[in-house]
Amino acid sequence: AQKVTQAQTEISVVEKEDVTLDCVYETRDTTYYLFWYKQPPSGELVFLIRRNSFDEQNEISGRYSWNFQKSTSSFNFTITASQVVDSAVYFCALSEAAGNQFYFGTGTSLTVIP
């Protein structure tokens, strides 16, 4: 079974629109870590955020915000007032305290149209 599900394969928005990227995870561990990475067209992987399972506080960083809800096993990512530079593939990922593996979702390709 997929441990991290990103159901949205591709999303297109017009510049300045808000967009939310969904991430649903599955784990039996009580301690785990969730991540978001960005992969721009140039191909490198850029770390965006890490949350541990004990910290459900939402995080805001500029135009980016993350909503962590353990009740629904979701860790969604919202970009406010999207810009063309936000066009990228975004990956959600999970690691469990009990193990040492790292699980990525299949990614969401975001295109921001000027």
Partner 1 sequence: EAQVTQNPRYLITVTGKKLTVTCSQNMNHEYMSWYRQDPGLGLRQIYYSMNVEVTDKGDVPEGYKVSRKEKRNFPLILESPSPNQTSLYFCASSRDRGHNEQFFGPGTRLTVL
Q: Which residues bind partner 1 (CB under 8 A)?
A: 6, 9, 33, 35, 43-45, 47, 50, 91, 93, 95, 97, 100-107
Residue (13 or 33) nearer to partner 1, CB: 33
Residue (79 or 92) nearer to partner 1, CB: 92
Distance CA 103, CA 86 (A): 23
3-state SS record for the chain: CCCEECCCCEEEEECCCCEEECCEECCCCCCEEEEEEEECCCCCCEEEEEEECCCCCCEEECCEEEEEEHHHCEEEEEECCCCHHHCEEEEEEEEECCCCCEEECCCEEEEEEC
Residue (77 or 91) nearer to partner 1, CB: 91
Residue (38 or 80) nearer to partner 1, CB: 38
Shortest distance (Å) from residue 15 CB to partner 1 = 26
Shortest distance (Å) from residue 95 CB to partner 1 = 5
Shortest distance (Å) from residue 28 CB to partner 1 = 16
